[in-house]
Structure 1
Amino acid sequence: MYYIGVDIGGTGVQAGIVDEYGKVVLKKECRTNVEAGFESIMDDIENLVNSLLLDKNISTKDIKSIGFGVPSFINNEGLISCVNLGWNEVNFIKSIKGRFEDIEVFAENDAKAATLAEAKFGSMKNKKIGVMYTLGTGVGGGIVINENIFIGANNMGGAIGHTIIGENYYDCNCGNNGCLETFCSATAIIKHATKLIQEGRKSLILENANNDINNINAKIVFEAFKENDEVAIETINRFKLYLAKSIASIINTLDPDVISIGGGVSRSSDIILDGLDELVKQHLLYKNENFADIVCASLGADAGIIGAAFLN
């Protein structure tokens, strides 16, 4: 038997057929046609899944279930609101079940789906309690206990990116101030480096961005860090400090076996992980005891597909 996982993003939809060992045996993608509306996107997803079945020369009888990772919170009624997709309380579950009536269908937040993948087949495999941070444009994540996603009483559990970690100079998109996302995302890195440069600090960052402050991205900041640029060092050290505080809070609360760091920002894992254990230790309650291993996620871009495939 096979599984199908679908990872829905703001710009593209990736879908794959996954075997029982978590290997993606066939993968396809299409553009997320946000302008066309919800039902049009659902039609595109249906066509994408059917195309996978056709190319693999299998039928729905060969598929145990289809899982969907969506970039939003799904409430207990199956309703989703997602600004990036233009969805306002759309009934995702009802719509998708209507298209795949003879297959079990599941859906969950995309970061939680990726967390499940890492727990079953990746960096958190064979661990009792694992916590994942996905550091990208924003900050997502999830908690797994015995390979089961922790969702909470109202399906809102595990929103790590919106834990309040300190006071910041700008508000989060959610409306709160101090969310981890405003300290430890690629967006946060760009904002802070830009702020320092606008305050008159000299930096290689601007030069490497072709002297256009709008061209600054997180990769440029990390590269400047390696060249001992003062603005980059201050920006990345600030990022690591708040990441360490968040990880310490998670450890003090859950005492997990492992913390896994994924997402686009984790491509600079050599910088992020360097000295991170010691920073975390400074904020732990029990400083002389063993604590969670801090590692990088191992499944890369396929984590969303794999995790979605194994939702239940």
Structure 2
Amino acid sequence: MSVLLGIDIGGTAVKIGLVDETGRILLSETRSVSFDGYKTPIMTTVTALAGELLDKSSEKPVGIGVSATGQIDVHTGTVIGVGAHFGNWLGSEIAEILGNAFHLPVTVINDANAAALGEQCYGRAKGKDNALVVTIGTGVGGGIIENGRLIQGQRGIGGEIGHYIIDFDGEPCPCGNRGCFERYGSTGALVRRFTGDPALLAELGIPAGEVNGKVIFDHLSQPAVQAAVDHWIDCISFGIVGLVHIFNPEIVLIGGGISREEERFIRPLREKILSRAMEQFAKDLVVEAAALGNNAGLLGACAYFRQMHENF
């Protein structure tokens, strides 16, 4: 059975693992890529950790599948766009660097698209031909499976749902536009709602530096917090309903750490989506939390490699 080296590169950490054909992770390691404020190039950290992992294992991979944050040109394995400013990530030639270091074939795909493939091959979208996977975190990412295949577009950067515009006169976005979905529907947007209101934080007794999604949900018994979270879930539901009307999926999967909140997040989000989508789009539509958690990108990266190299 062939084994792949899977690599999932995020803005703060990289996860690397050896993955077999069934999606079983045989060995894995995680390391910060921002430990010194990105003075050390991300790919230097990634390459070093990959070498250490391979030295620990008797398994020899036949290839490398990479999931990476940013807009990835899948033809060259290069970072051609970033939604956040960290390090010198833009322009990183991921495939070339790893190919030269380990003398193995390499594929590279955006992390949200990888998560969608991971769910299709090993998670809750398995057996589904039309699926929408939405990751809710600092931003909003997504992957779209249509008729069994991942939508990638001309250069492999399709599915950038965090930057489709839901309010043309809305908040400025670091991408240069206004009113992008992730400015309203990300966990980052929810956190900004609270850090931008010092009086509310003082009333709740929460230091500004400690605000995150978990802390906010821990205070849901407070009416002001519940109202803010309800509005945030409204924003997410409107964005997803628009996507449902475009792609007509059979399943919508929600990823990100907040997706573990079944009763307080997934259930109300599901109800709002199903009540707002047009009748025939909502019919038989399933809305669930994604299944693979932090392993989605790693597994999806390996699934993409196998799609591109069917002989492996």
Category of TM-score, reference length = shorter chain: 0.7 to 0.9
Q: Deviations over 1:260-309 (max 9, x none)?
A: 00112223232112233332234323358514200001111111211112
Which SS does the other structure have where 1:29 is aligned? strand
- CA gap of 1:147–1:30, structure 2 versus 1, over 3 A, is farther
Q: How does 1:222-261 map to 2 (within 5 A)?
A: 222-225=217-220, 227=221, 229-261=222-254
Shift of 1:202: 8.0
In structure 2, C-alpha distance between the alignment counterparts of 1:124 and 1:51, rounded to whole Å: 33
> Do the aligned residues in 2 keep the contact of 1:251 with 1:292 (CA within 8 Å)?
no
> Do the aligned residues in 2 keep the contact of 1:257 with 1:292 (CA within 8 Å)?
yes
The code of the aligned residue for 2:107 comes to F
Q: Deviations over 1:231-281 (max 9, x none)?
A: 211211111111111221111111111110011222323211223333223
2:17 is aligned to: 16
Shift of 1:9: 1.8
2:63 is aligned to: 65
1:95 maps onto 2:89 in alignment: no
> Do the aligned residues in 2 keep the contact of 1:122 with 1:299 (CA within 8 Å)?
yes
1:105 maps onto 2:106 in alignment: yes
2:130 is aligned to: 129
The code of the aligned residue for 2:69 comes to P
Percent identity reads 28
2:279 is aligned to: 286
1:221 is aligned to: 216
Q: Deviations over 1:189-225 (max 9, x none)?
A: 1112344x44x55886x31x2xx23322221211211
- CA gap of 1:36–1:90, structure 2 versus 1, over 3 A, is same
> Is there any run of 5+ residues in structure 2 with no aligned partner, and where?
306-312
Shift of 1:147: 4.9
In structure 2, C-alpha distance between the alignment counterparts of 1:268 and 1:168, rounded to whole Å: 31
- CA gap of 1:289–1:174, structure 2 versus 1, over 3 A, is closer
Aligned residues between the structures:
298
1:27 is aligned to: 28
Q: Deviations over 1:172-194 (max 9, x none)?
A: 22122111111111111111234
In structure 2, C-alpha distance between the alignment counterparts of 1:275 and 1:87, rounded to whole Å: 37
1:181 is aligned to: 182
Q: Deviations over 1:42-70 (max 9, x none)?
A: 343333223323322123xxx23211111
RMSD: 2.3
In structure 2, C-alpha distance between the alignment counterparts of 1:11 and 1:56, rounded to whole Å: 25
Which SS does the other structure have where 2:62 is aligned? strand
Q: Deviations over 1:2-32 (max 9, x none)?
A: 1121011222211001111111110012331
2:152 is aligned to: 151
1:266 is aligned to: 259
Which SS does the other structure have where 1:74 is aligned? strand
1:86 is aligned to: 88
- CA gap of 1:201–1:6, structure 2 versus 1, over 3 A, is closer
> Is there any run of 5+ residues in structure 1 with no aligned partner, and where?
none
Which SS does the other structure have where 2:259 is aligned? helix
- CA gap of 1:213–1:3, structure 2 versus 1, over 3 A, is same
Question: Structure 1 length as normaliser, TM-score?
Answer: 0.87
